[in-house]
Amino acid sequence: MRDADSSCDECPTQSDPVQTENSTLKTVLNKIRNNALAIFGLCFLSALILAAVFAPWITFFDRDHIDMALISQPPSLTHWLGTDELGRDVYTRLIYGARVSLSVGLVSTCISVLIGVFLGAVGGYFGKAVDSIIMRTVDVFMCFPFYLIAVVMAAIIGPSILNLMFIAGILNWPKISRIVRAEVLSLKHREFIEASRALGLSSGKIILKHIIPNTMAPVIVYATLGIAQGILMEAGMSYLGLGVKQPIPSWGNMLAAAQDFSVLVAQWWLWIPPGAMVFLSVLSINFLGDGLRDALDPKIAE
């Protein structure tokens, strides 16, 4: 394994000097830089996040401003993406809609990562009854059809942004906890875990400081993809009228306009822009997730 350096214990590192300042973030960024698709994803998402944050400054109309004199206008210089059936500016609502979609994606993913990582790590580490209970719960969650249960839950607790985040978070943690548990099962028998126990660390500390950080690579990748799933779910639920309610704009409820056949045929500016945003943001997130997976996988050499 190490034949060359046996003779020179004094020259210990195989790494070149450039690598000395090796924060993980830097290494990851370096690796991503060569991946055009991931860079595209990163740029698009950054732009989207900036647009969502600074929405009031880059739009020219009030979000809910109704102008009955200008209903269903095609795109023009004043209304870049035209107006909807109530005379509201589509471009403005599209940008504000990014706020809803992104925050649903982010918050629901945070919820599912927190629950999933915690339960997965605890189950994997302690095993036995704890593990059985957690994993059987996971099995129960995973045997429901995702959209069906989401629709039922939304129907029971009512449509709203917060409920949507909650539903998406609650339905997504089982996959993450399975990933984490599998990682923990192999990690906990590694020698460095035994070594840290021999150094006097308690179980809690070992889980928090040694096991969970070691499971982060797949979790980060999965979480990225989870955001995409959150956005898709928001769009789907709002389209069905079970998500974000009018007048708050979201890409999903803007797409709902296409339920009307005349809109679908004659007013493309009402549904193509939100559809394209959903498509592009999910695509970017997936590109970025793939890029991250490659970058975080130590087996893929630089």
Tell me which residues touch another protein (CB under 8 A): 1-2, 5-7, 9-10, 12-15, 19-20, 22, 24, 127-128, 190-192, 194-202, 205, 209-210, 213-214, 298
Nearer CB in complex with another protein: 133/142: 133
CB 6 to another protein: min, Å: 5
Residues shown for the chain: 302
CB 236 to another protein: min, Å: 37
Numbers of helices and strands, H then E, in the chain: 13, 0
Could you tell me which of 148, 168, 39, 43 has the C-alpha nearest to residue 105?
Answer: 168
User: What is the C-alpha separation between 187 and 181, in angstroms, rounded?
Assistant: 10
Nearer CB in complex with another protein: 17/145: 17
Nearer CB in complex with another protein: 128/262: 128
Tokens coding 11: 């020259």
CB 20 to another protein: min, Å: 7
CB 214 to another protein: min, Å: 6
Nearer CB in complex with another protein: 65/205: 205
- Residue with tokens 């943001």, as numbered in its chain: 281
In order, the DSSP letters of 85-123 are TT--BHHHHHHHHHHHHHHHHHHHHHHHHHHHHHHHHHH
Nearer CB in complex with another protein: 221/282: 221
Asked if residue 166 lies in contact with residue 111, where contact means CB atoms within 8 angstroms, the answer is yes
In the three-class reduction of DSSP (H, G, I as helix; E, B as strand; rest coil), residue 216 is classed as helix
Nearer CB in complex with another protein: 19/246: 19
CB 210 to another protein: min, Å: 6
How many C-beta atoms surround the C-beta of residue 280 within 10 A? 15
CB 292 to another protein: min, Å: 16
Q: State yes or no: cis peptide before 247, omega within 30 of 0.
A: yes
